[in-house]
Amino acid sequence: EKTIGILTGGGDCPGLNAVIRAVVRKGITAYRYRFRGILKGWKGMMECDWEPLGLEEISGILPKGGTILGTSRTNPFKEEDGGEIVVDNMRRMKLDALVAIGGEDTLGVANKLASMSVPIVGVPKTIDNDLNGTDYTFGFDTAVNIVTEAIDRIHTTAESHNRVMVIEVMGRHSGWIALHAGLAGGADMILIPEQKYTIQEIVSTIRKRHERGKDFSIVVVAEGAQLGGIGQLVAHAVEEGTSYETRVTVLGHLQRGGTPTAFDRVLGTRFGIAAIDLVHAGDFGKMVSLQGNEIVAIPLAEAVNQLKLVDQELYDLATVFFG
Ligand code: F6P
């Protein structure tokens, strides 16, 4: 009987439990594996902190947000001999293979461990959707839906008070959430890290809109847009530059909370099944990924060597609705 470890690392994200459930369910019923749930990501691997994970533990977790295993941003390679400690602990915990679910940082660790001959399979996770090599990551669709609903609700105040409402959303390096939710929510301007803006451009776009008779505006800003301290800064600059009353809402961790959408549950489940099939096939050093409608396996290195920035064509399309 083989023993498989499973861990979740980095920021939590709706859909993580769907992956854990699928990996463990198929691993036990189809392959007769035994599972050890490594607690708090790589921290648990450094400290041999784990709990047995059986059918009982995964029952009822599909709709739950967050991760039943806990998570951390611990990176073994930032600690002295961290890589070797993880390799030793694989042996100590009697693990035959490891499934690591995480974003760029977690999968970067997985990639380094794979090159040290650790039998490891990766599952891509980020609500930001900026991980290379996969068309979508689970959690993104949930975040886009939460932000779209927030934009719809904020429209009420924008219209009633004739205000400019600035909504700051997650996305340090890329504007996927801002772009998709901005399009879905009918934003009047979307600011993303991939583009450069001047305050003057922002002010004149809002002015143009108000001059054609619209007396409110919605501006969606990704936290990493290249203006620094972004939401407040945009709101302040717009109010100064236009004299229209302006308010800012920072959605923050609300975007990562709660139950995953049906799309994310299905994607997480498909990823989980594909990951445990890779383990069974002994096909290590790979990450499962969505390409078109297919789940495929790609080398871990492909996922971590660059970021996937937003589709320029989609951004250009969104600008039709600016101002
Ligand atoms: O990478 C996911 C993400 O939610 C980013 O969008 C955000 O910048 C960051 O994590 C926030 O991290 P933390 O939860 O550690 O504050």
Catalytic residue among 12, 128, 188, 277: 128
Side-chain half-sphere CA neighbours of 160 within 13 A: 5
Residue type, 302: E
Whole-number Å distance, alpha carbon 200 to ligand 1 midpoint, is 29
Point out the ligand 1 atom lying closest to the alpha carbon of residue 170: 6
Listed residue (12, 18, 16, 5) closest to 44, CA to CA = 5
What is the C-alpha separation between 42 and 36, in angstroms, rounded? 14
| pLDDT at residue 166 in the model | 94
The verdict on the CB of residue 256 being under 6 Å from ligand 1 is yes
Point out the ligand 1 atom lying closest to the alpha carbon of residue 223: 8
Q: Which residues contact 203 (CB under 8 A, 6 or more apart)?
A: 237, 238, 241, 242
98, 91 contact by CB (below 8 A): no
Ligand 1, atom 7, residue with closest C-alpha: 170
Listed residue (270, 264, 269) closest to 65, CA to CA = 264
What ipTM was reported for this prediction?
A: 0.91
Listed residue (217, 95, 108) closest to 165, CA to CA = 217
The verdict on the CB of residue 288 being under 6 Å from ligand 1 is no
Point out the ligand 1 atom lying closest to the alpha carbon of residue 224: 8
Q: Which residues of the chain carry a pLDDT beneath 70?
A: 228-229
177, 144 contact by CB (below 8 A): yes
What dihedral angle (degrees, nearest 10) is formed by the CA atoms of 276, 277, 282, 286? -70
| pLDDT at residue 232 in the model | 81
Listed residue (39, 10, 223) closest to 137, CA to CA = 10
CA angle in degrees (0–180, nearest 5) for 181-261-301: 80
Listed residue (265, 256, 261) closest to 17, CA to CA = 265
51, 37 contact by CB (below 8 A): yes
Residue written as tokens 């790589």?
Answer: 42
Side-chain half-sphere CA neighbours of 42 within 13 A: 26
Active site residue 128: yes
139, 318 contact by CB (below 8 A): no
